[in-house]
Amino acid sequence: MREIRQPGSYSYVFGRYCEPIATVEPGEVVAIYTEDAFEGRITSESTLPSRVLGEYLNPQTGPIFISGAEPGDTLAVRIHEIEFTRDWAVSCFIPSFGGLTSTKLTPTLQPPLPERVWVYRRQPDGSFSYDPSKFSIQPTPFLGTVGTAPDLEALSALTPFTHGGNMDVPDVRPGNTVYLPVTVPGAYFSTGDCHAAQGEGELCGVALEISARVTLSFDVIKGRKIAWPRIESPEEIMTVGSARPMEDAARIANTELILWLESEYGFDRWDAYQLLTQAGKLYVGNMVDTYYSLVAKVSKRYLGGSVSTAPSS
Amino acid sequence: MREIRQPGSYSYVFGRYCEPIATVEPGEVVAIYTEDAFEGRITSESTLPSRVLGEYLNPQTGPIFISGAEPGDTLAVRIHEIEFTRDWAVSCFIPSFGGLTSTKLTPTLQPPLPERVWVYRRQPDGSFSYDPSKFSIQPTPFLGTVGTAPDLEALSALTPFTHGGNMDVPDVRPGNTVYLPVTVPGAYFSTGDCHAAQGEGELCGVALEISARVTLSFDVIKGRKIAWPRIESPEEIMTVGSARPMEDAARIANTELILWLESEYGFDRWDAYQLLTQAGKLYVGNMVDTYYSLVAKVSKRYLGGSVSTAPSS
Amino acid sequence: MREIRQPGSYSYVFGRYCEPIATVEPGEVVAIYTEDAFEGRITSESTLPSRVLGEYLNPQTGPIFISGAEPGDTLAVRIHEIEFTRDWAVSCFIPSFGGLTSTKLTPTLQPPLPERVWVYRRQPDGSFSYDPSKFSIQPTPFLGTVGTAPDLEALSALTPFTHGGNMDVPDVRPGNTVYLPVTVPGAYFSTGDCHAAQGEGELCGVALEISARVTLSFDVIKGRKIAWPRIESPEEIMTVGSARPMEDAARIANTELILWLESEYGFDRWDAYQLLTQAGKLYVGNMVDTYYSLVAKVSKRYLGGSVSTAPSS
Amino acid sequence: MREIRQPGSYSYVFGRYCEPIATVEPGEVVAIYTEDAFEGRITSESTLPSRVLGEYLNPQTGPIFISGAEPGDTLAVRIHEIEFTRDWAVSCFIPSFGGLTSTKLTPTLQPPLPERVWVYRRQPDGSFSYDPSKFSIQPTPFLGTVGTAPDLEALSALTPFTHGGNMDVPDVRPGNTVYLPVTVPGAYFSTGDCHAAQGEGELCGVALEISARVTLSFDVIKGRKIAWPRIESPEEIMTVGSARPMEDAARIANTELILWLESEYGFDRWDAYQLLTQAGKLYVGNMVDTYYSLVAKVSKRYLGGSVSTAPSS
């Protein structure tokens, strides 16, 4: 299997302005190495973020040019496996960042929360813990960041938006397929920010950050245009909306899910609105990034005899 | 078992200004009859809401005076059973109401969505459907509205806030306990708005509305003051924040859950912040009411040897 | 002129559940005495709010029964004069309250801002200052709170909503007329919370709070139903929307102003939308109350030969 | 005076990835030609936006390299004059765009508003009108868009943020100075989107769009780092916050104004918080762009004997 590592410095934006680091054919399975959100700089409880972090966060491996992907297509990203490349993960409290503090976008005159680093070490049972007498977390790895290039903008790797990006949605995990809009030739796919685990909302803003080897393959769905990221698991279809205020993210995710039910599952619009009202799920991926990400989902059991949207590879 | 029915007209507010309809002792199990959110007025696809609905929606059975409840206590509401009293439920699209339309609080100049009624009839397999060739919903009954009286205000039965009220949170279901603040002598508990089922977010604003017989008992936890509603299931503890914008509801729910972990489960504040970051859940109860309700929760498996917060009855 | 003082304890809600303290005829000019938002309890820099304030804030004088006002009418409140009844005003920083701090509705885990009282004394030139070497404020008195009773709810005197209430809008000042919806017989008008001056937004949440003698008269506009408060000055017409998030307040205020231009000034809807786009004003009354209040306004110079909406008295 | 015109295609982003079109020395007065927001494509009531507009909106003239500007400096943009280069302006209703409609970021299932073009022609008295029997607007020209390049991102010309950009703030007008952060060498200044007039909020999203000749000069304030745009008029100092929800924009603008009062006018933080509470202004620049822009301001009369922040040119 081909292995892809960032050849020089990591990318900190999603955009068409960086040179691709590799070209991948549809259907080819590749292993991509990703650094943690801090580029490995926080290694102990005493390496405070304010002292060791560089100017930018969330290094991305990429962009990767996907052969045959053209504007107006959809890129299907199949996540086969995520393997940690170290036996510890790190979380921390970063001043003026997180869900229960004032931030640069929600400023107040109050003093910041204390800065603090938490190193979670792998335990004999496979869980992660900074103090097993307190609590341990079983790993449920996923990719905090997957995305294509926006057509015009270069967006920070900390931002989730229509192109995917830093959604911090736990359903971006092995076994699932992420669908992303293609707006530049070659799609310019990047990924990074692997989380060993994360709660819904990513409350303090920093999950169990870890480096990883990620096994992926890609398909290009020609001529299928989507406006926002979608996810498919064996049991569910899901859409992700990223916006502020949070209700706008909820509106986007649900609107997109209705459009999906209409366009590919034969639903009438109002039947779809009813179905989601009575059987939809709606959870918060992150409440901390530059835009909040919400996930709307519905079980495939309600989708009748409809065929999967997944193209045969 | 004592049965409680509304003796005259239903209550459409939560407040201390109505006369209690019954007094219940802590520990006593009672059956309370509730009407649907439309007071039974929408009975077919042709009875349009704009023609048949009265001035107020969401009739409440109550208030019920709980013996011994005093301001500063917490009322524990144990939900034993919810039995439907009819074999159909109703949903509808009400003009300028719902999650994917402009509303009175989010007005636009656009024309409203079409008004429409959906009657879901009970199917032989127990599910509810308006057209079994489309989809059927298995019942997962819960109480859309449970609440005490605010100390000063009288709040519409359509509003969720610190007192509980119209939270539309599916975890308010049989087997679970809801904790509500007591701010007036006797607590003045009311309930209604039973849903045969509802998706997270209650997208169009109207779940599977149904009338029910609800079996409850109450405990008064003396001297335990809470600021917002809490829920406990056999597996999880949960808090509900109701506010706008939605991120404020998320902040409230998570802050309250941290305070709960601190005060009753021996957690240090920053450990609790870490635990919720890595293992918390956060879903949208409703994105349609006067305030949005979000539920933060965490599995009891992380709470160590701590005893349940439930008092012995 | 008849003088109206609160006969017993002040009212802390807007609602139909209190007994009127007086009945006033349309056209009658009355003088109403109002207490400051702290009921006069904060009298020096050393009387900290947390030590001296009671359970409720913002005492209202009222309710006053307006003869002939019926649900579906509009109450026109003409503000003739505001005279201070003392020579000092008070502002303060109240913990977890204000525009640049976390609050009960926008909680964080940060420590609160320092509590602090500012006593502004009247200066020889008529301005108010706590330290003339720093800055002095010329008085521009207005009523922070004017409102009628909601039909069903009893809303805290800290809340602005469809009934008016605690809007904290500086245009509620002498020379202007405030229009309020009537939803209960007699309207149940209350007022209070006089401000010697206030910036737009009322940033820390506490303006120059002062007690006052307020001269008002009322007219009842029969059969004219409005949904939200309106204000008319000699030069402008204005609407007030109170909601969260703040963009909803902006949507409400502008929608109502378009409806006003349509219904009373002969504007086509799309002409009105154009006029406000090119010539409307939009400022923040408060960014601190339970709902934020925004004021949309347009100069009467654009309203052609249209007659004033003010009925002859 | 040197005249600067876009040599080839216009720029539709603010970013470091475009080549500068000119280099300007501090103190040099230049005339810059700007196109309207539609690049002149909407010329009559019958040229509907959906038929004639290209992929991107809001063409910018630039980037212009400012000699000597380095990251960490502030760019002072002095607006000397705005002259219209044609005698008509255009506004329109664009589907799913504007303040009183659902949009791509606030989607609903409702049908869009009607598409419509309004051509305002210059009248003999100098005002603009599409029908003088309805209303005419006196010109108050300003620049909808002024900005530098963000350090890392390339942001759409439709977006206002820390770099300035599409703020749509009427105080960006002749006689005033705009201060922008410099984050790349040469600042990479761009401007465009001249408005013959605009109401606060820019309600329908499209002001009186017009092409113009703009006379500007620049100063570089070395080593003065600002986080968000600031504006200075002869009478006031102002800050602009751009965010969603709107209350976050209000928090940013007011926080920045307090920081300005602290750092350059000798104010203690709490005195500044008091001053803005009692005497600040706060209006909505736009309620329609990707972020909403709010302007906080305070009169220089409160700033004592402090010298102007404007460097001598």
Element (H, E) at A86: none
Q: Which two tokens stand for residue A146?
A: 């997957």
Contact: C277, D100; criterion CB under 8 Å? no
Partner residue facing D101 (CB), from B101, B108, B245: B108
CA distance B112 to chain D (A): 6
Q: What are phi and psi of C118, to 5 degrees?
A: -125, 115
Mean pLDDT computed over C19-25? 98
Q: Give the list of residues 6+ apart from residue D293 with CB closer than 8 angstroms, or none.
A: D160, D167, D168, D169, D240, D241, D242, D249, D284, D285, D286
Q: Which residue out of D105, D137, D274, D302 would a mutagenesis test of the C interface target, given it has the greatest number of C Cβ atoms within 10 Å? A: D274
Q: pLDDT above 90 covers what percent of chain D?
A: 96
Of the residues D248, D256, D269, D273, the best mutation for testing chain A's interface (the one with the most A CB atoms within 10 Å of its CB) is: D248
How sure is the predictor about C171, in pLDDT bands with cuts at 50, 70 and 90?
Answer: very high
**Is B179 within a domain?**
yes
Is the pLDDT at A64 greater than 80, yes or no? yes
- The answer on B254 and B112 residing in a single domain is no
Q: Is the pLDDT of residue C310 over 70?
A: no
For chain D, the domain total comes to 2
CATH assignment at residue D45: 2.60.120.580
B274:A302 CB<8 A: no
* CB within 8 Å: C109 and B255: yes
Q: Are residues B238 and B186 in the same domain?
A: no
Same domain, A204 and A260: no
Question: Do the beta carbons of residue C250 and residue D284 sit within 8 Å?
Answer: yes
Shared domain for A97 and A164, answered yes or no, is yes
User: If you measure CA to CA, which chain B residue comes closest to C12?
Assistant: B152
What average pLDDT score do residues A65-71 get?
A: 98
Which residues lie closer than 8 Å to C263 by C-beta, 6 or more apart? none
Examine the fold and report which residue of B221, B250, B271 is the final residue of a domain before the chain moves on: B221
Q: Please report the number of interchain residue pairs, chain C to chain D, with beta-carbon separation below 8 angstroms.
A: 159
D258: which chain C residues are within 8 Å (Cβ-Cβ)? 100
Last residue of a domain, one of A221, A244, A261: A221
Q: Which two tokens stand for residue C80?
A: 């003739």
Q: Tell which residue, C216, C265, C214, C271, has the closest CA to residue C236.
A: C265
Indicate whether D208 and D120 sit together in one domain.
Answer: yes
- For D175-213, the pLDDT digits (tens) are 999 999 999 999 999 999 999 999 999 999 999 999 999
Interface test with B, best of A136, A246, A257, A278 (most B CBs within 10 A): A278
**Is the four-CA dihedral C299, C303, C305, C310 of positive or negative sign?**
negative
Shared domain for D214 and D141, answered yes or no, is: yes
Please answer yes or no on whether A110 and C110 come within 8 Å at the CB atom.
Answer: yes
SS3 D300: helix
User: What average pLDDT does this structure show over C159-165?
Assistant: 98
The ipTM, to two decimals, is 0.96
Neighbours of chain A (3+ CB pairs under 8 A): B, C, D
Report d(CA D57, CA D65) in Å as an integer.
23
Tokens of residue D226, six digits: 């600002």
Answer for the pair B194, B143: CB distance below 8 angstroms, yes or no: yes
Helix, strand, coil proportions of chain D in percent (round to 5)? 10, 35, 50
pLDDT (mean) for A98-127: 98
Task: Name subunits touching B (3+ CB pairs < 8 A).
Answer: A, C, D
Q: Are C154 and C59 in contact (CB under 8 A)?
A: no
Closest CA to D261 of C288, C201, C135, C285: C135
Measured distance CA(A248)–CA(A290) in Å, rounded: 14
Q: Does A288 share its domain with A248? A: yes
Task: Indicate which of B11, B13, B105 best probes the interface with C, i.e. most C CBs within 10 Å of its own CB.
Answer: B105
* Whether pLDDT at A285 is above 50: yes
pLDDT band at A281 (very low <50, low <70, confident <90, very high): very high
Looking at beta carbons, which residues of chain D come within 8 Å of C277?
A: 91, 198-199, 201-207
Q: Does residue C311 surpass a pLDDT of 60? A: no
HSE, side-chain direction, 13 A CA sphere, residue B263:
10
Is residue D117 in a domain?
yes
Cβ distance C113 to A110 less than 8 Å, yes or no, reads yes
Is B273's CB within 8 Å of A304's CB? Answer: no
CA distance to A134, A221, B298, D11, per residue, from B305 (Å) = 11, 51, 15, 62
CB pair distance less than 8 Å for B109 and D113: yes
- Asked if A210 and A196 touch (Cβ cutoff 8 Å), the reply is yes
What is the reported pLDDT for C54? 86
Distance in angstroms (rounded) separating the CA atoms of residues C193 and C32: 12
Instruction: Count CB pairs under 8 A between chains A and C.
Output: 32
Q: Which of C221, C240, C268 is the last residue of a domain?
A: C221
Q: Which chain A residues touch C if contact means CB-CB below 8 Å?
A: 100-102, 106-113, 245
**In angstroms, rounded to a whole number, what is the distance separating the alpha carbons of residues D75 and D62?**
15
Radius of gyration of chain C (CA): 19
Q: Compare CB distances from B155 to C56, C153, C245 and report the shortest one's residue.
A: C153
User: Cα separation of B209 and C54, whole Å?
Assistant: 42
**Which segment of A34-38, A308-312, B132-136, D112-116 scores lowest on mean pLDDT?**
A308-312
Minimal CA–CA distance to C246: which of D249, D138, B13, D156? D249
| Predicted pLDDT at D54 | 86
Contact B252 C155 (CB under 8 A): no
Q: Is the pLDDT of residue C221 over 60?
A: yes
What is the per-residue pLDDT for D313?
36
Instruction: Write phi, then psi, for B145 (nearest 5 degrees).
Output: -130, 120
> Which one of B13, B245, B258 has the shortest CB-CB distance to C244?
B245
Q: Which of C18, C109, C155 to mutate to test the interface with B (most CBs of B within 10 A)?
A: C109
Neighboring chain B residues of C55 at a CB cutoff of 8 Å: 151
pLDDT at res. A304: 81
For the stretch D8-66, pLDDT in tens is 999 999 999 999 999 999 999 999 999 999 999 999 999 999 999 988 999 999 999 99
Q: Are residues A14 and A50 in the same domain?
A: yes
User: pLDDT > 90: what percent of chain A?
Assistant: 96
Residue owning tokens 């209604």? B192
Across the interface, which of B114, B207, B278 has its CB nearest the CB of A198?
B278
Closest CB from C17, C105, C156 relative to B243:
C105
- H helices of C222-268, in order, are 246-265
* High-pLDDT (> 90) share of chain C, %: 96
Structure tokens at D119: 């051509």
Length of chain C: 313
Q: Are C208 and C82 in contact (CB under 8 A)?
A: no
The three-state secondary structure class of D51 is helix
Of C135, C254, C275, which has the smallest distance from its Cβ to D201's Cβ?
A: C254
| Chain Cα centroid distance, residue A87 | 22
Quick check: is A284 in a domain? yes
Q: What is the dihedral of CA D247, D253, D254, D259, to 10 degrees?
A: 140
Tens digits of residue pLDDT in C75-128 = 999 999 999 999 999 999 999 999 999 999 999 999 999 999 999 999 999 999
| Residue B147 located in a structural domain | yes
CATH code, domain with A241? 3.10.28.20
Query: What's residue D125's pLDDT?
Result: 97
Burial degree of C44 (CB within 10 A; 0-12, 13-18, 19+)? exposed
Say whether B269 and C109 touch across the interface (CB within 8 A): yes
Q: Which residue of D has its CA nearest to C117?
A: D274
Which of C254, C256, C273, C261 is CA-nearest to residue D92?
C273
H/E segment holding residue D112: none
Show the tokens assigned to B147: 């609440």
Across the interface, whether the CB atoms of A281 and B130 are under 8 A apart is answered no
- Interchain proximity B153–C156, CB inside 8 Å: yes
Question: To the nearest whole angstrom, how far is the Cα of D33 from the nearest Cα of chain A?
Answer: 23
Residues on chain C bordering chain A, Cβ-to-Cβ distance under 8 angstroms: 100-102, 106-113, 245
Q: Name, in order, each residue with C-beta under 8 angstroms of D133's C-beta and a sequence gap of 6 or more.
A: none
* Cross-chain CB nearest to C108 (options A102, A109, A245): A102
Check if the beta carbon of residue B277 is closer than 8 Å to that of residue A207. yes
Segment D68-79 shows an average pLDDT of 98
Query: Would the CB atoms of A153 and D153 count as touching at under 8 Å?
Result: yes
Could you tell me if D132 and D16 lie in one domain?
Answer: yes
Percent of chain A clearing pLDDT 70 (strictly above): 97
The answer as to whether A309 is a domain residue is no
Burial class (CB in 10 A: 0-12, 13-18, 19+), A123: middle
Q: Count how many pairs of residues, chain A against chain B, have C-beta atoms within 8 Å.
A: 159
Q: Give the nearest chain A residue to B113 (CA atoms).
A: A270
Cα separation, D94 vs D102, whole angstroms = 11
**Residue D162: DSSP 8-state:** T
Closest Cα in chain B, distance from residue D110 (Å):
6
Of B198, B203, B280, the CB nearest to A273: B203
Q: Is the separation of the CB atoms in D145 and D151 below 8 Å?
A: no
The whole-number average pLDDT for the span B40-61 is 94
Whether residue D211 is found in the same domain as residue D276 = no
B296 bridge partner residues:
B239, B282
Chain centroid to CA C22: how far?
Answer: 21
Mean pLDDT calculated for residue range A273-302: 98
D50 domain residue, yes or no: yes
Of all residues in chain D, the one with the smallest CA distance to B93 is D109
Distance from CA of A249 to the nearest CA of C (A): 14
Q: What does the pLDDT read at residue B54?
A: 86
The predicted pLDDT at position C312 comes to 37
Is residue C307 a part of any domain in this protein? no
D239 and D162 within one domain: no
Output DSSP code: residue A246.
H
**Residue D83 maps to a domain:** yes
In C, which residues are within 8 Å of B155 by CB distance?
153
Closest listed residue to residue A226, CA positions, set A272, A257, A251 = A257
Residue of A nearest to B303 (CA): A135
On whether both A54 and A153 belong to a single domain, the answer is yes
Residues contacting D43, CB < 8 A, separation 6+: D90, D119
- Residues, chain A: 313
D245 closest CA partner among A17, A247, A123: A247
The 3-state secondary structure of B117-138 reads EEEEEECCCCCEEEECCCEEEC
Using an 8 Å CB-CB cutoff, list residues of chain C that contact chain B. Answer: 12-13, 15, 17, 55-56, 104-109, 151-156, 227, 243-245, 248, 251-252, 255, 258, 269, 273
Q: What is the pLDDT of residues B180-209, one digit of tens each?
A: 999 999 999 999 999 999 999 999 999 999
Q: What pLDDT, on the 0 to 100 scale, is given for residue A308?
A: 42
Query: Mean of the pLDDT values across residues B72-99?
Result: 98
- B250–chain C nearest CA distance, Å: 9
pLDDT of residue C119: 98
Average pLDDT of chain B, as a whole number = 96
Q: How far is C262 from chain B (nearest CA, A)?
A: 13
Cβ pair D35, D10 in contact under 8 A: yes
Instruction: Write out chain D residues lying below 8 Å of B112, CB-based.
Output: 110
Domain span holding position A294: 230-302
List chains adjacent to chain C, taking adjacency as at least 3 C-beta pairs closer than 8 Å.
A, B, D
